[in-house]
Amino acid sequence: MSKPSYREEILDAGLQVMLRAGYEGASVRDICAAAGAPHGSFTNHFRSKEAFACEVLERYFAHTQALVKQALGDGTLTPRQRLTRYLDIISDVLAAEHWQRGCLIGDFSAETARQSEVLRERLQNIFHAWREPFAACIGEAQAAGEIDPAFTPVELAEFLLASWEGAILRMKVERGPAALERFKRIVFQTVFKELR
């Protein structure tokens, strides 16, 4: 009889542990304990903690992309409203975690980019993929006369995501929504100000 595979359980647990403790703070022992898996199961499925973290990032980003699609794919809203909707959805997710959990993409960017070239490259690819639907939505908003076309959609998408990640980091420090609400209020009254 073959041994049970704990691969999925380890990935699920690893995501939760890394969201809570970060890359450095998440030990393989803690991850296996949270998964209810023997320590040897980790090395059976993942060649290193770095390789494991890449898979955890993929899992997290797939969930993030689903939230992006939910907000930016809502044809009942104007493009500008869709951008607001995305930030509101993420704010609700962060509120459910009592403002203690941030974004794994942002957390890993701050923590691992200097230590791991593999993770740095993967994060760079994630940011490029992440900005595309936002750039498309912003381009649609500019074409509809909703947002000033002074900057390219890609530049604005980069600005939106980078600034939002900064607001999330500040939110974690303050353990409250003030930084997120301030960002949304200011960005939609300035950079993404409605033209009509």
Helical ranges in 26-152 per DSSP H: 28-35, 39-45, 49-72, 79-96, 104-112, 117-143
> Confidence class of residue 3 from pLDDT cuts 50, 70 and 90?
low
- Classify domain 57-187 by CATH architecture: Orthogonal Bundle (1.10)
- Cα–Cα distances (Å) from 58 to 65, 91, 125, 127, 129, in that order, read 10, 21, 11, 12, 12
pLDDT tens for each residue of 137-147:
999 999 999 99
pLDDT at 126: 97
Helices 104-112 and 153-174 meet at what angle, rounded to 10?
90
Cβ-based neighbour number of residue 14 at 10 Å: 25
> Confidence class of residue 2 from pLDDT cuts 50, 70 and 90?
low
> Confidence class of residue 196 from pLDDT cuts 50, 70 and 90?
low
For the chain, residues classed under CATH 1.10.10.60 are 1-46
Where does 1-46 sit in CATH, by number?
1.10.10.60
> Confidence class of residue 13 from pLDDT cuts 50, 70 and 90?
very high
Cα distance between residue 83 and residue 26, in whole Å: 33
For the chain, residues classed under CATH 1.10.357.10 are 57-187
pLDDT at 113: 86
pLDDT tens for each residue of 50-64:
999 999 999 999 999
60 HSE (CA, 13 A, CB side): 24
**pTM, to two decimals:** 0.91
Higher-pLDDT residue of 15 and 40 is 15
